[in-house]
Amino acid sequence: MKKLLCLTTGLVLMAGTAYAEDVWTGGDGLPTSPLACDGSPATLTASPYNGATVQNAPDLKGKQISIVDVPKLIGIGYFTATAKGVADAAKDLGNVDAKTDGPTKANIDDQITLIDNYVTSGVNGIVFAANDPEAIAPVLKKALSKGIHVVGYDSDSTPDAREWFVNQASFNGVAKALIDNIASQIGEDGAFAIVTSTFTTPVQARWISEMSAYTAKCHPKMKWLETVEAQEDNILSFNQANTLMNKYGDELKGIIGMTTVATPAASEAVKQANMCGKIAVTGLALPNAMKPYINGGCINGVVLWNPSDLGYAATEVLRAAVDGTLKPGDTSVKAGKLGDLKIVDGSVVLLGDPVTFTKENINNFDF
C-alpha cells in the first residue's frame, strides 16, 4: 500500500542517510551492491543459470534465421541506434534477417500486441527491451513455448521469460558514475532530483536502487529531493525539469536524467531558465544530443555506452543461442567485432563499463 501511494503521488523525499529505509525513491526494492567509494573494481562471481529454456526449437545451427527487434519504442535516437546495431550484426553474421518494429510510445500493451503478432506470424528469434518486466513476461513465455529464442537488452523482463539479457553496463557501475558525476559538480551537501521514464521500467528502477545505496554509502550528506517520471517524452521531460526548478528554487543544485530523452530535455530547461552554472545536469544521454550543451559550457558531462553496440551484442547473443554455442553455465560469449563478453548473474551478458562524455572527448563520438 505504501508503494502504491508513492506511485500515485510520484513524489518521494529523501535526504542522505537521514531518510527512512522504507521510503520509496523510484527503485525496485531489490538487494543492492554499491561499489567501493575509492573506485576499486567489484569482484565478479559466477552463479547458476537462471534464464528460461526454449521448448522444441528447430535445429537451425548455421542456417538462415529471421528475428524481430522490439524496443520500448521507436522514433527516438537511442533506439534508432540500437536498431542500427541489430542491423549491423545481422549483416556481419550473414545468416540473419532482422527487422525492428516497436510501439511509437513507451506503452507496454502496444509492445505486447506487437510481440504476440510476431509469435503468431512466425519468427525464429525475438530481441526486446521491456516497458514492464512482469507484464511482458507471458507473451515472451508464449514465444519460448513455440520454439522461438528470446533475448532481452537494455531493459529486462523477469528472467524466466527470456534466455539471456544483454546489460549495457553493470547497474552499480552506472549508479556510481552518475552519483560521482553530480557530486563533483554540486558538492557533498548539494541537493538533486531525478527525472526517470516510468516507475515500472525495470532498468531505471534498478539503477535508482543502486544510486540510493551508493549515495548513502559514499555521499551521505547529499540530499535527494525527488524522483519524477516523464514517459520518455521530450516535452514532459522538459516540463518536469521546469517544475523541479520552480518547486525547489535555490535548493535544487542538480538534475539527473535517467533516459536519453530526459537528460537533453532537462539541459534545455536549465539553459532556457538561464541557470547554466547554477543547476548542474548529468545523466544518460546520446553524445550528439548533448554536444550543444556540453560544447556550449552549460553542461559538464553525461554518461552512456554505445547503444549501437548494445543492439549488436543482443543479435550476436541470440545467434549464439540458436547455434548452441552459448549454453547455460558459460562464463563468456563471442560477440563478433565486440569480442568476448562476460556473463554475470547467471544469464546476464555484460556489454562493458559506461563512458563519461565531456567537452574533451564528446566530439570523438557520432551517435
Contact assessment for residue 239 and residue 113, using Cβ atoms and an 8 Å cutoff: no
pLDDT recorded at residue 47: 85
d(CA 282, CA 266): 9
Are the C-beta atoms of 212 and 29 separated by less than 8 Å? Answer: no
What are the two backbone dihedrals, phi and then psi, of residue 149, each rounded to the nearest 5 degrees? -75, 145
Buried b (16+ CB within 10 A) or exposed e, 192-214: bbbbbbbbbbbbbbbbbbbbbbb
Is the pLDDT confidence value at 2 over 50? no
Question: Minimal CA–CA distance to 30: which of 158, 138, 185, 151?
Answer: 158
Statement: residue 4 has pLDDT above 60: no
Confidence band (pLDDT; 50, 70, 90) for 117?
very high
pLDDT at 18: 32
The pLDDT of residue 44: 65
pLDDT at position 127, please? 98
Confidence of residue 39 (pLDDT cuts 50, 70, 90): confident
Q: How confident is the model at residue 23 (pLDDT cuts 50, 70, 90)?
A: very low
Give yes or no for residue 295 having a pLDDT over 50. Answer: yes
Report the pLDDT value the prediction gives residue 320, as an integer from 0 to 100.
98
The residue written with cell numbers 513476461 in the block is 137
Q: Per-residue pLDDT averaged across 42-53, rounded? A: 84
pLDDT one-digit tens code per residue, 301-336? 999 999 999 999 999 999 999 999 999 999 999 999
Cα Rg of the chain, angstroms: 20
**What confidence tens digit (pLDDT) does each residue in 210-234 have?**
999 999 999 999 999 999 999 889 9
- pLDDT-derived band at 45 (thresholds 50, 70, 90) equals low
What pLDDT sits at residue 40? 87
CB 263 within 8 A of CB 281: yes
Average pLDDT on 245-271 reads: 97
**For residue 8, pLDDT beyond 70:** no
The identity of residue 353, as a single letter, is D
Structural domains in the chain, sorted by start? 2-40+171-304 (3.40.50.2300), 65-169+307-344 (3.40.50.2300)
Mean pLDDT of the chain: 91
| pLDDT at position 41 | 78
How far apart CA 148 and CA 119 sit, in angstroms, is 8
Mean pLDDT over residues 282-286, rounded? Answer: 96
pLDDT digits (tens, 9 = 90+) for 56-101: 999 999 999 999 999 999 999 999 999 999 999 999 999 999 999 9
Looking at residue 146, its pLDDT comes to 97
Contacts of 124 (CB under 8 A, 6+ apart): 58, 60, 65, 66, 67, 148, 149, 322
Q: For the residues 34-47, what does the mean pLDDT come to?
A: 82
At residue 50, does pLDDT exceed 50? yes
Q: Provide mean pLDDT across the span 154-181.
A: 95
| pLDDT tops 70 at residue 19 | no
pLDDT, position 13: 32
Q: Which residue has the higher pLDDT, 217 or 25?
A: 217
Residues 256-266 have a mean pLDDT of: 96
Look up cell 523525499; give the residue: 13
First to last CA, the chain: 42
As a whole-number percent, the residues of the chain with pLDDT over 90 amount to 83
> Around Cβ 177, how many Cβ atoms within 10 Å?
24
Tell me the angle at which helices 262-272 and 287-295 cross, rounded to the nearest 10 degrees.
20
